Structure 1
Amino acid sequence: MGRTKTKYELITNEIARKATLKKRKAGLLKKLSELTTLCAVPACAIIFSSYDAQPDVWPSRTEACQVLEKLESLLEKQRGKNMMDQTILLKRNILQLNDRLEKQQKKNLDLEKELALVESMAGASNCDWNNLEQLNELSCRLQENIEFVSNMIEFKSG
């Protein structure tokens, strides 16, 4: 059985909210402990709550201060590699989407050329025969197809 999807909204019952915070905090700290043990990475957690006067600090205040000092002592360039804000994330996503768009546009152009080739071979072409560029592209596509078929014939016979 799969888990049901959790609705993420404010828990209106104060007692239930406090109990959920306590359970989730314990789970988070357990996962953080596992991460530091299994992967041998320094980590800390500081959890602020409206129920407690002091924030919860894991593993201890001194160890958390050491981790934060180590983070601050990294060079700006190294810190930039490990940290990301909303603008950096959006820029990276835009670059990835632009790359995907360029690849899709190239694929569409190749499909249009293939369609023009098929239509011209069938005799019902929408191709402008006076356009030298289209004719050159059609010629290149035909040459590629001829080479492909020739290679397939050689492979099958050899």
Structure 2
Amino acid sequence: MSEITTLCDVEACAVVYGQNDTQPEVWPSPSGVQSTYAKFRTMPSMEQTKKQLNMEAFLRQQIEKAKDQLRKQKKENREKEMSILMSQCLTGRSLQDLNMGDLNDLGWVVDHKVEEINRKVKKVQEELAQNENNHVQVVPTPPPPPPATSGRIMHMQQAQSAAPMEVMTPQDQQPQEQMAGLGANTHYKKNEHCTQ
């Protein structure tokens, strides 16, 4: 009893009548039993009977717990049997010898397994989508620009890359000027005439 009072943090007392004993055994002491019993009697009747158990009520409670455990165990066993039967059917076993109860239970197990598979597929798809959203693409950095140059040099570089330059000597220039009818003197006279 001392362990119960310590573990449950309650006041307790015990009066035990043995078969061959003329006087009952009491715990913790006769005065302790009377004190605890007096406190119990002062409690409202609802509180007194709230957790009260006699031997019959205790046994009924234990029987109900055992029945619940038995029901759960039977259900688990039946599910395992149907899972084994489902595996056998997938490997070629015929359904002809099964009764309606077996077929119903087998259908329930198959539906349950399909739901489980669908949940797992959905979870994997969500994880893949999440990974794709979190995936960071690394964009390569462009090469650095060439050093800055003046506009004239840049224009010349562009012209050179577009077409090769023709280099003319002074001898090459004279025939072209004569063909055009514009010699150096003519050009000068034209300018002189225009200024007048």
Identity of aligned residues (%): 20
How big is the shift at 1:46? 6.6
1:109 aligns with 2:78: yes
Q: Please, what is the CA RMSD of the aligned residues?
A: 4.4
Alignment-derived partner of residue 94 in structure 1:
63
Alignment-derived partner of residue 136 in structure 1:
107
Unaligned stretches of 5+ residues in structure 1: 1-27
Matches within 5 A, 1:2-17: none
Q: Which has the larger radius of gyration?
A: 2
8 Å CA contact 2:86–2:106 kept in 1: the answer is no
1:119 aligns with 2:88: yes
Residue 75 of structure 1: which of 31, 44, 67 is its match?
Answer: 44
1:66 aligns with 2:35: yes
Which residue identity is paired with 1:68? Y
8 Å CA contact 2:26–2:33 kept in 1: the answer is no
Q: Give secondary structure in 1 for the equivalent of 2:53.
A: coil
Compared CA separation, residues 151 and 128, structure 1 to 2 (3 A):
farther
Q: Give secondary structure in 1 for the equivalent of 2:40.
A: helix
Compared CA separation, residues 59 and 150, structure 1 to 2 (3 A):
same
Question: Residues of 2 paired with 1:90 and 1:57: CA distance?
Answer: 24
- Normalising by structure 1, what TM-score? 0.51
8 Å CA contact 1:45–1:57 kept in 2: the answer is yes
How big is the shift at 1:91? 0.4
How big is the shift at 1:113? 1.7
8 Å CA contact 1:58–1:64 kept in 2: the answer is yes
Deviations 1:59-107, CA, capped at 9 Å, x for gaps: 673x653321211222333222343221011001011001001101111
Which residue identity is paired with 2:69? R
Alignment-derived partner of residue 171 in structure 2:
none
Q: Give secondary structure in 1 for the equivalent of 2:84.
A: helix
Which residue identity is paired with 1:140? D
Q: Give secondary structure in 2 for the equivalent of 1:72.
A: helix
Question: Residues of 2 paired with 1:152 and 1:56: CA distance?
Answer: 63
- Normalising by structure 2, what TM-score? 0.44
Q: Give secondary structure in 1 for the equivalent of 2:93.
A: coil
Compared CA separation, residues 88 and 119, structure 1 to 2 (3 A):
same
Question: Residues of 1 paired with 2:45 and 2:14: CA distance?
Answer: 22
